[in-house]
Amino acid sequence: MGYKIAIAGATGNVGAEMLDILAERGFPADEVIALASRRSQGKEISFGDKTLKVKAMENFDFSDVDICLMSAGGSIAKEWAPKIAAKGCVVIDNSSAWRYDQDVPLIVPEVNADDIVDFKKKNIIANPNCSTAQLVVALKPIHEKAGIKRLVVSTYQSVSGGGKDAMDELFNQTRAVFVNDPIEPQQFTKRIAFNVIPHIDEFMEDGYTKEEWKVLAETKKMLDPTIKVTCTAVRVPVFVGHAESVNMELDSPLSPEEAQDLLREAPGILVVDKREDGGYVTPYECAGEDATYVSRIREDATVENGLNMWVVSDNLRKGAALNTVQIAEVLVNRGLIKPKAEAVA
C-alpha cells in the first residue's frame, strides 16, 4: 500500500519540479494531491502521464495525508506547517521558516540523513537553502577526511531562485536591451540583464545579506558548528543553475588529486575536472540534472592546507525539489513512517 502525498505550492517552479521528480523516481504514492491558493483552484497541472486538478490548501483536510511537500513561501509555512503536522502528516518544508528551529532537523540526505529521526519532535523537516544544499554535498567528504577550518564561499545564483517572476524579468530585460526599450527593475534592485548583482535577500545590521547568513548558519547546523564561514551571494543573469566558488582551509593536508578521488566516490557528486578548455561544468549544462558537479579542484598555496573548487547544481532540483523528495524517500526507506491507509485497512 502506497502513501498519500500533498504538494503545497504545486503551481510554482519548485512545486512543478516536485511533481516531475516524484513521477520520475517512482515514489510509492497511491495518491498525489496538488495544492495552492484559492486563486489557482481548478487549474490543471501535469504529474507524469496524469493531469491533476489543483485544490485550495486553505480548506483542505490533511488528516489522511502521510507527507506534505511544502513550497509555498516562508510566511505560509510558518502558519500552516504546525497545523498540518498536528494532523499526523509529516511536513517537509522548502522555505526558511523552520531551518533554524533546534527541534526541526535540517536535512540533505547525502550529508546528515541520520538526523532525520528528530522529525518526531514537531513532525516537520526543513529543506536547506538552494545554495547551501549543493555546497554541503561537496563539502561533506572533504570535511570527513581532512577537516574544514574555514570556508570562503562566493555564489553565482540564477534568477530562478527568485521564482517565476524573476525569470520573466530576466527574459523581458534581455529582450528590451536588443530592441532598445527602457528597463525598469521590479524583482531586482538593479538591472539583471547582462549584469550581476551582489545582493540577494534583505540586508542585515552587519552588512551581510540574509542569503549569505543562510549559507553560514545552515552549513554549521548540518556539517559542523566549529567551521568558520564567510559568504558573498551574487545574482547572475542565468535562468537555472547555481554556481559557487569555494575556498577551504583544512586541518590536514589534502592534495587536489586526493580530493578528486574522495569526491568521485561520494554520493550525489559528479567530478568533471580536466585542466583544458571546457573541462569543467557550468550552470547551463547542469540544468535538468540531479547531480552536484565539482570542477576546478586546485591547491590554494596562500594558506596552509588550502583548497579551491567550483560547485554547480540545478537549484530547482538538488537545491529544492529533488532534495525534498529524497528526504521523503529516507522517511519511507527507513520505515520511519507507514501509510495511514495501511493502519485503517
Residue with cell 543573469: 237
Q: Is 108 left (phi over 0), alpha (psi -120 to 50) or beta?
A: beta
Annotated binding-site ranges for substrate: 157, 235
Annotated binding-site ranges: 11-14, 39-40, 99, 157, 160-161, 182, 235, 315
Annotated binding-site ranges for NADP(+): 11-14, 39-40, 160-161, 182, 315
- For residue 69, the surrounding DSSP H or E stretch is strand 67-70
Annotated binding-site ranges for phosphate: 99
N-to-C CA span, the chain: 10
The packing angle between helices 13-24 and 322-333, to 10°, is: 40
Does residue 68 have an active-site annotation?
no
Catalytic residue among 89, 231, 242, 286: 242
Catalytic residue among 130, 143, 231, 286: 130
Q: Three cell numbers at 222? A: 548540518
How many other CB atoms are found less than 10 A from the CB of residue 67?
25
Which amino acid makes up residue 42?
A: G
Which amino acid makes up residue 62?
A: F
Does residue 143 have an active-site annotation?
no
**Exposed/middle/buried for residue 191 (C-beta within 10 Å: 0-12, 13-18, 19+):** middle
* Residues sharing a CB contact under 8 Å with residue 333, sequence separation 6 or more, in sequence order: none
| Active site members | 130, 242
